[in-house]
Structures are given as structure tokens and as C-alpha cells.
Amino acid sequence: QVQLVESGGGLAQAGDSLRLSCAGSGLTFGPYVMGWFRQAPGKEREFVTGISWSGDTTYAASVKGRFTISRDNAKTTLYLQMSSLKPEDTATYYCAVDRLSRLITTRTSDYDYWGQGTRVTVSS
């Protein structure tokens, strides 16, 4: 059974940093595209960043330069280092796996396994 479990969310002030982790079980990360998405209250889930099996990365314009995605395939763990946090980063953050694509996609429908999410709240 595939399971993704996010952790590391919490309360932060504007300008702070947080590091999210996503631990996987029941699958290997190596061949797959991995992604982070977020969903703010009342809004649709949106792409934040993705990383390919080879380490290529893509970022949403809103987080580029502030967030860094990384992966440790041996530990089947995905990370999201978030710096210079802003109140608009407040959302539930989800990690996801895309087992079919070889290139990073931003569509939620392309990702077939999801974690339960971890809440990030940034105050001004």
C-alpha cells in the first residue's frame, strides 16, 4: 500500500523559514516525478514545485527564489525548504507522485498518489 506522509508544517511569521518533508512507503521514488501542491481555504489546489527523477526542478512564479524542492530517493523522502515566507503562502501543502510522466507537469490530474497534507500558516 502506497502512503505519503507530510510533516513540518506549522505556524510561522512573515520572513521565517520552514522545511516540509514527505515520507513515502510502498513505492520507490527513484523513477518518478514528485511534486508539492498547496491549497488555501476557498481556493483550488495549485502547483508549487516539482522535481524529476534526474533532479530537474520547476517552480511556480510565486515561490521561485524562495522555495527549494529536493529529494532523497534512498530515504524515499521529498523535501520543501521554504524561506522568506509570506502570508499568502498560508495553505495546506501536499506532496504527490506522478508515476507516468517523465517531465514535470503542473496538473493535479497527472499525479496519482497524494499525501494527506500539512498545514502552513504564515502571519504578518
State residue 29's pLDDT score. 83
pLDDT value of position 28: 85
- Per-residue b or e along 7-36, where b marks 16 or more CB atoms closer than 10 Å to that residue's CB: ebbeebeeeeebebbbbbeebebeebbbbb
What sign does the dihedral 17-103-100-62 (CA atoms) show? positive
Per-residue pLDDT tens over the stretch 97-107: 999 988 999 99
The model's pLDDT over 35-67, given as tens digits with 9 standing for 90+, comes to 999 999 999 999 999 999 999 999 999 999 999
13/124 Cα distance (integer angstroms): 6
Label the pairing between strands 118-123 and 10-13. parallel
Q: Are 94 and 117 in contact (CB under 8 A)?
A: yes
Q: What is the pLDDT of residue 108?
A: 97
pLDDT of residue 49: 98
Nearest C-alpha neighbor of 93 from the set 54, 36, 16, 51: 36
Cell of residue 90, nine digits: 498560508
What burial class does residue 67 get, using C-beta atoms within 10 Å of its C-beta: 0-12 exposed, 13-18 middle, 19+ buried?
A: buried
